[in-house]
Structure 1
Amino acid sequence: MCKRIVGLNPIVFENSKILIVGSMPSIISLKEQMYYANKTNRFWKVLEVIYQESDKIKLLKTSHIALWDICHSCIRKTSADSEIKDIEPNDIQGLLETYKNIDKVICNGRTSYNTMKKYFPDIKTVYCPSTSSANARFSLEDLVKIYKKEIYE
């Protein structure tokens, strides 16, 4: 039987302008208490290429990016999004009301996007392909191009 897991708190700053929303942190990310901690996930590589900064928190702060996940908690056996069940969503609406500078929400992957649309249909969101290594359809270069376009648009 799978047990309920709880995600991470948001990383957000007073000057955040973009919120990137994932689905639920991987088992590795939960263990390390850091978003996208699995070395095979290309999220940080994408942002490092775009911003030429390797310090994760400094990168987020100087690029005005906040991170959170749509799932506050869920039941999941492995790290695969396809196994996510019984979602309790995070209060994305509340975060946006608190941090009024955030004017763009980008979803990292289809699960994040579809779940945002289900729980927060009135929040305008942009879909970007998942940075997970399981999403082999997109190269690092493809992901950089897509995310850069959405970040700067």
Structure 2
Amino acid sequence: MSAPRGAYQHIDHGFEPVFDERSRVLVLGSFPSVLSRANDFYYGNPQNRFWRVAAACLGEPVPATIAEKRWMLLAHGIALWDVIASCDIVGSSDASIRNVRPADIGRVTGVAPIERVVCNGAAAGRLYRRHLEPITGLPATMLPSTSPANAAWSLDRLIGRWSQELG
């Protein structure tokens, strides 16, 4: 993998996790993309397939607003957050992430009876294993990334694999 282009910036996550006392599955990404940070919510890049995949797995229409996205997740016992609270990063490049401060996972696990952790992509899985699994004691299932950069996985193939964990 080539070195990321551009300047490193130290970025704080910027928005809250989605969870409540009924959340049983925790879906973790690595860190919000530039578009997600601009939109103040998860998977803000319209090319990212997360919301289409989740909706298909849960038998719901694809949510359009942040309120609809929150409702869909919470109605199905799903919490959503990222492994990283802050880091140095170039743009949206997971490969560039350094100087990681992990999320305070106890904010979620102290309230929600999380039974299963699912990571959206390899970077989230590696970061979870290194920084958060020792705290939670819960192994994670690493699923293929819904990022548009993961062109090897079609939407239908992603839905098939993700439905094994969310469906």
Q: Normalised by the size of structure 1, how large is the TM-score?
A: 0.92
Partner of 1:40: 47
Q: 1:19 aligns with which of 3, 17, 26?
A: 26
The range that moved more, 49-58 or 103-112, is 49-58
1:93 positional shift: 4.2
In percent, how many aligned pairs have the same letter? 33
Question: Does residue 127 of structure 1 match 2:132?
Answer: no
Question: Does residue 4 of structure 1 match 2:10?
Answer: yes
Matched residues in 1 for 2:160 and 2:49: separation?
Answer: 13
**Structure 1 runs (4+) greater than 4 angstroms displaced:** none
SS of alignment partner, residue 123 of structure 1: coil
Q: Normalised by the size of structure 2, how large is the TM-score?
A: 0.85
Partner of 1:103: 115
Partner of 1:146: 161
Gaps of 5+ in 2: 1-6
Matched residues in 2 for 1:93 and 1:138: separation?
Answer: 33
SS of alignment partner, residue 55 of structure 2: helix
1:3 positional shift: 2.1
Matched residues in 2 for 1:146 and 1:18: separation?
Answer: 16
Matched residues in 2 for 1:17 and 1:78: separation?
Answer: 32
The range that moved more, 21-30 or 89-98, is 89-98
Q: Is the 8 A contact 2:116 2:138 kept in 1?
A: no
1:94 positional shift: 4.7
